[in-house]
Amino acid sequence: MGSIGKVVCICVDGFKGARCETSVPDCTGNPCNKGKCKVDDGKVKCSCGKNYMGEYCEIKVTCADHPCEHGGVCGANGESYSCSCRAGYSGSNCEII
């Protein structure tokens, strides 16, 4: 007790407020999976590394696993991909000459 009739709470890490009722977002527990985490304006923000995307870097970009051959350009679409093949090549991975 602080002054007469007043209760003062000392919050543990990760909580704030008069009664420690509000959790403070932090990067504990690796919320960004394969990315880098920072807290900005009271919210967790993730910066995804190569081959990952999504709010929490939870979606693996499949182009890294299924590269297009012969200079084809890979386009990721969620959990799938497609290749745009150069002239003279075809097939799902531009493997057919």
Checking if the pLDDT of 70 tops 90, the result is yes
Please indicate, yes or no, whether the overall pTM of this predicted structure exceeds 0.75: no
CA-wise closest residue to 72 among 82, 58, 59, 64: 82
Question: E-strand spans in 1-97?
Answer: 15-16, 22-23, 36-40, 43-47, 52-53, 59-60, 73-77, 80-84
Domain match, 31 and 47 both: yes
Checking if the pLDDT of 3 tops 80, the result is no
Total structural domains within the chain: 2
Domain match, 66 and 55 both: no
Q: What's at 5, amino acid-wise?
A: G
Is 62 in contact with 42 (CB distance < 8 Å)?
A: no
Q: How far apart are CA 9 and CA 82, in angstroms?
A: 56
Domain match, 29 and 54 both: yes
Is 57 in contact with 33 (CB distance < 8 Å)?
A: yes
